[in-house]
Amino acid sequence: MKRLHVFVVSDAVGETGEQVARAVIRQFRPGYEYTVIRRFPHIQSEDLIRKIVSLAVKQQALILYTLVQAEMRSFLQALCKEQQIHAVDILGPILKTMATFIEETPTETPGIVHQLDDDYFKKIEAIEFAVKYDDGKDPRGLLQADIVIIGVSRTSKTPLSQYLAHKSYKVANVPLVPEVEPPEELFQIDASKCFGLVISPDQLNSIRKERLKALGLSDNAIYAQYHRISQEIQHFNKIAEKIGCQVIDVTNKAVEETANVIIGYMLNDR
C-alpha cells in the first residue's frame, strides 16, 4: 500500500481542512493505514508557503489548503503547479460562488470563524468541563452536565467527551466497574441526557489486549479476559436499565459517528 502524506495548509488553525482530509481518506483507508496528516496553521506569508511546498516535493505529499486570501491561494496553486505537486483548494471555489450568488465581496480575514465570540467561550468552557469531570473524578459534575456518558473501560468515553465538548456540550463520563458503586448523582439526572456505550466482547477483548501490551503488561491479565468482560457488561446493562438511558452500540464505530448519534438525540429532545 502506498504511503500517503497529506499537508493541510491554512491561514487559521486548519481544523476545517483536516476534517475534510480525514473524511476523504476514510473512503480509501478507514483506519488511516500508511497515512500521515500534517497540519500547517497560521500560514500568511509566501516564504512559508515556499517552504511547505518544498517539503511536499520531498515527501510527495498532497496539499489541501483553506486560505481565504485570494492572493495567497493563487500563489500556492501556481507554486504547486510549477513543482508538479497535487493541491486542492477547499475554500476558494465556495467563496467565489458565494460572492457571485449574493453579489458581495468576502472580507478575506483569516481565522474569522475562531474570533473570541460567545460561541468560542462556550466551547472553551465545555472543554474545561469535560477535563474536570472526566472518568468520574467528581460526581457533582453529573448534575451540571448537558450530556452524561457511562460505559465499561475502553469504550472511548473520554475521546467522545472531548469531541462533544468541541461541539460546546458540557460532558461528564463515568466508568462502570462491578466492584464500585456508581455515584448517587447518576440516578438523579434526567435519563434523556444520559447515554450508555456498549461494545462487543470480542472487540473489547482485542482493544484491552492492545492496551495492556502498550503498557508493557501481559495480555493475559484478568482485565482482558472474557469472563471479566462479560461480568462488566452485565453490570453495565443493570445500571443502564436502572437509569433508563439510551444505549449505543459503539462496536466498529468511530467517535464521530457515536457523537452524531448523541447529538441527534439531543436536538430531537429540544
User: Mind listing the pLDDT tens digit for each residue in 198-223?
Assistant: 999 999 999 999 999 989 988 889 99
Q: What pLDDT shows up at residue 20?
A: 95
Please say whether the structural domain 4-114 has been given the CATH code 3.40.50: yes
How many CB atoms are located within 10 Å of the residue 99 CB?
12
Please say whether the structural domain 118-268 has been given the CATH code 3.40.50: yes
Pick out the residues of the known binding site: 151-158
Residue 126 confidence class, pLDDT cut points 50, 70, 90: very high
Q: What pLDDT, in 10s, does the model give residues 130-180?
A: 999 999 999 999 999 999 999 999 999 999 999 999 999 999 999 999 999
Q: What pLDDT shows up at residue 103?
A: 92
Pick out the residues of the known binding site for ADP: 151-158
Measure CA 77 to chain center.
29
3-state class of 198 per DSSP? strand
The CA–CA distances, whole Å, from 242 to 123, 188, 221, 235 equal 32, 11, 30, 11
Q: Is the pLDDT of residue 262 over 90?
A: yes
How many CB atoms are located within 10 Å of the residue 78 CB?
11
Residue 127 confidence class, pLDDT cut points 50, 70, 90: very high
List, by residue range, all CATH 3.40.50 domains of the chain.
4-114, 118-268
In contact, 133 and 141? CB cutoff 8 Å: yes
What is the model's pTM? 0.61
Amino acid at 60: Q
Q: What pLDDT shows up at residue 113?
A: 65
Q: What pLDDT shows up at residue 58?
A: 95
